[in-house]
Structures are given as C-alpha cells and as structure tokens.
Amino acid sequence: MLKGDRRRRCRPHGGACDLVLAIGTIAVGLIVHLSGNLLPPIVRDVLGDALWATMMVWWMSVAAPRVPLRTRALAALAVCIAVELSQRYHTPLLHALRRTLPGHLILGSGYDPRDFLAYAAGVAFAVVLAHGMRNE
C-alpha cells in the first residue's frame, strides 16, 4: 500500500474480516456438502471437514480477537476434536439432532479417525491464510 493510501485491507484480527471469512467458509462448505455427484464422496467428506475446521478458526477469531492466532487455532482444533469424539457417544437425542441438516453439519454423523487429519489441515490452512493476509 502506498503511503497515504487509506484503503482498508481485510486483516484477520477479529471483527468484520473474520466474520466475512467465517460466513464465506460456510458458503463454500455448503456448496461442497450439497455438490452431489460433482465430487467423489471421499473428497467431499475430507474437504468438508477441513472447511469446517477452517471456519472454527474464524469463529474463534470473532469471539476472541485479542487472543494470539496460535491459541485461537489450537482452540478451534480442540473443538473439532471434541465434536469428532462426541460422535462415539450415542443417545436418542443426539441421533435425532444428527438426523437434521443443522445437526449433521454441526455435530457430524459418524466417527472417523481420518477426520482428525482433515481438521488439522483446515486449521493449518486458516493459519497460513491469516499470516498471509497480515503480511500483505
């Protein structure tokens, strides 16, 4: 940016930028989730999980903008892991919630250890993107 240029750049530090990133990630995630046969099922699953983890980083940034990015990223990963582990817990109420679209998108539908790698990749992507945006 040139000296005196007053244009604002979207920088991840909480506020409107992280909110836009979270909503944009949700939109992309829904497109992936609802893409039907355009993507192979395993690609949809892994990409969806990675996007969900990326979204969690943005929401952590909206909720706690002054907390260091590393801490927000680790908190997002912890939420992802907790939700994945919760899929090993079965009750009629949780089954009913998971059968709804919002419940399925938020709580998932079945435990899969592969998802942990997708979550780590999604969080790493968000951290790289945040650093890149900060250093523009």
pLDDT string in tens for the chain (136-residue length): 445 444 455 655 557 899 999 999 999 998 988 877 888 989 998 999 999 999 999 999 999 999 999 999 999 999 999 999 988 988 898 888 888 888 887 787 788 999 999 999 999 999 999 988 876 5
pLDDT of residue 11: 55
- ∠ CA 55-56-62 to the nearest 5 degrees? 90
Residue whose entry in the numeric block shows the structure tokens 């679209």: 101
pLDDT of residue 27: 95
pTM confidence score: 0.83
Do you know the residue count of the chain? 136
Phi, then psi, of 48 in degrees rounded to 5: -60, -45
Q: Check residue 95 and give its pLDDT.
A: 84
Which runs of consecutive H residues, i.e. helices, occur in the chain?
16-33, 41-63, 69-86, 92-98, 101-107, 114-134
Helix axes 69-86, 41-63, angle to 10 degrees: 130
- Provide the token pair at 53: 């983890």
Q: What angle do CA 100, 105, 91 make, to 5 degrees?
A: 55
